Chain A
Amino acid sequence: MKNLRWNNFLFQLVAFLLALAFTSLIMVFAGAPPISAYVEILGGAFGSVNSLANVVVVWMPLLLVTSGLLITFTAGLWNIGIEGQITLGAIFTTAALRLLQESSLPPWLIILLAMLAGVAGGALWAVMAGLLKTFGGVNEIFGGLGLNFVATALTLWLIFGPWKRPGTGSMSGTEPFPDTLWLPQLPGLRLSPWSVIFGAAAIYLVYRLLSGTYFGLRLKAIGKNVRAAFLLGVPAWQHSLLAFALCGFFAGLAGALQVTAVYHRLIPSISSGYGFLGLLVAMLVNYQALWAAPVALFFAALNIGSIQLPIMLNLDSSLSGVLQGMLVLFVLLTEGARKRWLQKNG
């Protein structure tokens, strides 16, 4: 058993090194010095309190999204529609804030209601994908993909249509909300302590839910063999829908945070790609909720760190995406290799 764990760790390490090596190779082809690029990324992510705070600003929504995805993954569902669910969370939050900002309600209540609206929006979009699958026979990958496009179109329509800034709509988004409607932030930083509370609570709750409750066990059974789960008395489609709803709940919360804690308005790419990034994290941690926190932190650090690259080395910041993608590919690859190796030598 102990040997197996070592063996697993060794393969993961090899995957990480391979991902680094291949990304370096790409940099060499692009004419950039890999070592200084990595140094820049590290410095950009952890070099100052400010950059560290920015890493956390990315880390928390990513953790929320990953928490949600762990639920759907466990139930055997590929919730590709996660991007749209974040976006709908942001749209609903913005709508609630716009609706209530002129009212006499205290700001904290307005923010609370707006966040609840966001959560509902995310859950609604997720349940749509679930209903399409359960009653329409549409695979959740296709349904989710379609709903993502609808969500993006809806955002653009709102920004350039009904919610456009006074004068003319622009890609910079809707009119920012007054800072009374912002979630409280740490002095001098973009980071709100509420994000940290939500992120930490989400991953802990999901960890408990999946490893210690009958609900989690039933989801796992559905994910492993839906037919057997049904025959053993698990209400299968109801649980699938609930898994979608819960995932949408967390995605919607991430979207709500993007509006209330980060951008303070609706912008065209409000999800910041955290949905797809969350899918990568969830795949990488392979159902183990506790690992989601460090892996999401690493991904967040890569994202923030690579912002420096265009300035310092004239490289595109999408390099972090290359490294993240490589990492997932190599981890999956070495996992396959490890299984083969175990079959031969185990």
Chain B
Amino acid sequence: MNVELRDIHKIFAAVHANNGINLKIPAGVIQGILGENGAGKSTLMKILSGFYQPSQGQILLDDKPVIIRSPADATRQGVGMLHQDPLDFPSMRVIDNFLIGHPGELIPDRGQAAAQLEAIQQKLGFSLRPEAHVDTLTVGERQQLEILRLLWLGVRVLILDEPTTGISALQKEKLFAALRLLAQEGKTIIFVSHKLEDVEVLCHKVAVLRQGRLIGEMLPPFNITRLVEMMFEKVITLGNRRSCCRGEISFRLNALELEDARLHIPGVSLEVQGGEVIGLAGMEGSGQALFLRACAGLVRAVGGHISINEHDLTGKPYHTYLEHGIAYLPAARLEEGLAPGMTLTEHFLLAGEARGFNIDWEQGRKVAQERIADFNIRGTPASPIEALSGGNQQRALLALLKHPLNLILLEHPTRGLDIESSIYIWDKLKERCAEGAVILFISSDLEELLQYSDRLLVFFSGEVSSPLDAERTTVEHLGQFIGGKGWAA
């Protein structure tokens, strides 16, 4: 289906999120949409998929002007969107999720639906079990389910918003192969991302947005330096690796054994120096999240010992871990890390030391103001946390960390952030390392893992590798290792 956007504007209060965007996407093309956070990509896609109405402008499908009233209306007209966080029903089975949203009889024909699901997924090379419960699937598999569902609904334009965050290298390959196949069939694919390498290998055409405007388009071969310039107005390099290792051991794991409903991690032993950064690599759900939570004192180990600066913390409650200067920053910022509905000042007061019984609001606002300036957060002390952009929420989360800390545990510290924000966040984290804090972090971004870690632990379905020296590991090697290749039997 040919898609055309004509002079699209979207204005939210003070923000001109989309400013006169014109874009033509012919059928059979994989169109990349690049831009940093807040460039207006998501807004544009939400307009095309019926979540928002444009303030001005026109959408044409197959050269006919249309009005898309709602997401359901969008699917009826052939436009479907795959959201960054899968919008599914985790407690229900795959087949029931597949059936949801399908117009039809009062009593759905599950057998027929399962057969059709099977037919589509065979074509695309997916292998989901219809009877599996969605909460047992990985993010990548949930994405596959959503794609299958949209295709079954007859979608001819498929929008994917940051589909490669949080999925494994292997799943990414599968996804890209499926998308290429769909494009060959004449479907229109719109691929929203800020990952240059993904866009480079996949897209037939790239449009770059910056501050709500369409800066320009590019056809392959892509000039990456030029694309980065278009996105940021300047070239960014990641800077040199630097290590802050201090020599003396600060964090120690002794044959730590972990278990949950799906995984069993047999004894991990690890000695980490003060200031050292350990990257935890692996496909989502390979055990690294469980491991990190155990280090935070949120999951109790089945066996083994954890100690920090020679204090044994094995089996102690979470607040003892906090008292020993251990901090845990979850990936789901608004769900677990921050409290929507509360202001920045309230967050800082909550996370800081309570001075007496009564709150000194004046002092609280002053501290908030300082931290906001210090961490370059775009907001005011009175801003509700949910009003900040993702990058600013992540900065706020970092600004909440106490001083001093011995161990910082992070899940996907830069997921969904643009390069500039990521560099900023790592600068702040490295400052903590320089003060002697140990960092353990999970990431699915191989570049990030190699750039910032001193050593790496690779997880593969509960197996944990011995520590790898990050400096002597390549992206290719790490990628293969994560995918399960190169493990000694």
Residues of A within 8 A of B (CB): 212-218, 220-221, 224-225, 227-235, 346
Decide yes or no: A232 and B359 within 8 Å by CB, A220-B342, A227-B336 being known contacts.
Answer: no
Would B350 and A221 count as touching, CB distance under 8 A? yes
Would A214 and B359 count as touching, CB distance under 8 A? yes
Q: Please name 9 further chain A to chain B contacts, defined as beta carbons within 8 Å, in addition to the given A228-B336, A228-B337, sorted by A numbering.
A: A212-B361, A214-B357, A214-B358, A216-B359, A218-B350, A221-B339, A224-B339, A227-B335, A231-B336
CB distance from A224 to the nearest CB of B (A): 4
Would A225 and B359 count as touching, CB distance under 8 A? no
CA A221 to CA B341, docked complex, whole Å: 9
CA A235 to CA B319, docked complex, whole Å: 8
Chain A residue with Cβ nearest B329: A231
Which residues of B lie under 8 Å from residue A214 when comparing CB positions? 349, 354, 356-359
Asked if B400 is an interface residue, CB under 8 A from chain A, the answer is yes
CA A225 to CA B335, docked complex, whole Å: 7
Would B341 and A213 count as touching, CB distance under 8 A? no
Would A212 and B358 count as touching, CB distance under 8 A? yes
CA A212 to CA B355, docked complex, whole Å: 12
In the complex, chain B residues 169-223 whose Cβ is within 8 Å of any chain A Cβ: none
Which residues of A lie under 8 Å from residue B65 when comparing CB positions? none
Contact of B339 among A213, A229, A346 (CB under 8 A): A229
CB distance from B79 to the nearest CB of A (A): 23
CA A311 to CA B13, docked complex, whole Å: 55
Decide yes or no: A215 and B357 within 8 Å by CB, A220-B342, A224-B339, A233-B351 being known contacts.
Answer: yes
Contact of A228 among B318, B339, B357 (CB under 8 A): B339
Asked if B441 is an interface residue, CB under 8 A from chain A, the answer is no
Which residues of B lie under 8 Å from residue A233 when comparing CB positions? 319, 322, 351
Asked if B90 is an interface residue, CB under 8 A from chain A, the answer is no
Asked if B328 is an interface residue, CB under 8 A from chain A, the answer is yes
CB distance from A212 to the nearest CB of B (A): 5
Chain B residue with Cβ nearest A214: B354
CB distance from B354 to the nearest CB of A (A): 4
Would A225 and B339 count as touching, CB distance under 8 A? yes
CA A225 to CA B337, docked complex, whole Å: 9
Which residues of A lie under 8 Å from residue B13 when comparing CB positions? 346
Chain B residue with Cβ nearest A220: B342
Residues of B within 8 A of A (CB): 13, 318-319, 322, 328, 330, 335-342, 346, 349-351, 354, 356-359, 361, 400
Which residues of A lie under 8 Å from residue B349 when comparing CB positions? 214, 217
CB distance from B130 to the nearest CB of A (A): 31
Which residues of A lie under 8 Å from residue B340 when comparing CB positions? 224-225
Chain B residue with Cβ nearest A229: B339
CB distance from A226 to the nearest CB of B (A): 9
Would B359 and A217 count as touching, CB distance under 8 A? yes
Would A232 and B400 count as touching, CB distance under 8 A? yes
Which residues of A lie under 8 Å from residue B328 when comparing CB positions? 231
What 3 A-B pairs are tightest by C-beta distance, nearest first? A225-B339, A224-B339, A214-B354
CB distance from B327 to the nearest CB of A (A): 9
Chain A residue with Cβ nearest B361: A212
Decide yes or no: A213 and B322 within 8 Å by CB, A218-B350, A232-B400 being known contacts.
Answer: no
With most chain B CB atoms within 10 A of its CB, the pick from A212, A217, A229 is A217
CA A150 to CA B393, docked complex, whole Å: 47
With most chain A CB atoms within 10 A of its CB, the pick from B340, B346, B350 is B350
Chain A residue with Cβ nearest B327: A231
Chain A residue with Cβ nearest B382: A1
With most chain B CB atoms within 10 A of its CB, the pick from A216, A220, A232 is A232
CA A214 to CA B352, docked complex, whole Å: 10
Chain A residue with Cβ nearest B332: A227
Contact of A213 among B342, B346, B357 (CB under 8 A): B357
Would A220 and B319 count as touching, CB distance under 8 A? no
Would A231 and B354 count as touching, CB distance under 8 A? no
For this complex, 8 residue pairs linking A to B, each with C-beta atoms less than 8 Å apart, are A212-B361, A213-B358, A214-B356, A220-B339, A224-B339, A225-B336, A225-B341, A235-B319
Which residues of A lie under 8 Å from residue B356 when comparing CB positions? 214
CA A234 to CA B318, docked complex, whole Å: 11
Contact of B359 among A213, A227, A235 (CB under 8 A): A213
Which residues of B lie under 8 Å from residue A225 when comparing CB positions? 335-336, 338-341
CA A217 to CA B322, docked complex, whole Å: 19
CA A228 to CA B342, docked complex, whole Å: 12
Chain A residue with Cβ nearest B342: A224
CB distance from A204 to the nearest CB of B (A): 14
Which residues of B lie under 8 Å from residue A227 when comparing CB positions? 335-336
Contact of B350 among A232, A235, A346 (CB under 8 A): A232
CB distance from B174 to the nearest CB of A (A): 32
Which residues of B lie under 8 Å from residue A224 when comparing CB positions? 339-342
Chain A residue with Cβ nearest B335: A227
CB distance from A227 to the nearest CB of B (A): 5
Decide yes or no: A231 and B319 within 8 Å by CB, A218-B350, A221-B339 being known contacts.
Answer: no
Would B337 and A231 count as touching, CB distance under 8 A? yes
Which residues of B lie under 8 Å from residue A231 when comparing CB positions? 328, 330, 336-337
Chain B residue with Cβ nearest A1: B382
CA A235 to CA B323, docked complex, whole Å: 13
CA A185 to CA B380, docked complex, whole Å: 52
Would A217 and B346 count as touching, CB distance under 8 A? yes
CA A220 to CA B337, docked complex, whole Å: 15
CA A228 to CA B351, docked complex, whole Å: 10
Chain A residue with Cβ nearest B355: A214
Which residues of B lie under 8 Å from residue A217 when comparing CB positions? 346, 349-350, 359
Would A234 and B342 count as touching, CB distance under 8 A? no
CB distance from B336 to the nearest CB of A (A): 5
Chain B residue with Cβ nearest A345: B13
CB distance from B338 to the nearest CB of A (A): 6
Decide yes or no: A232 and B341 within 8 Å by CB, A214-B357, A214-B359, A227-B336 being known contacts.
Answer: no
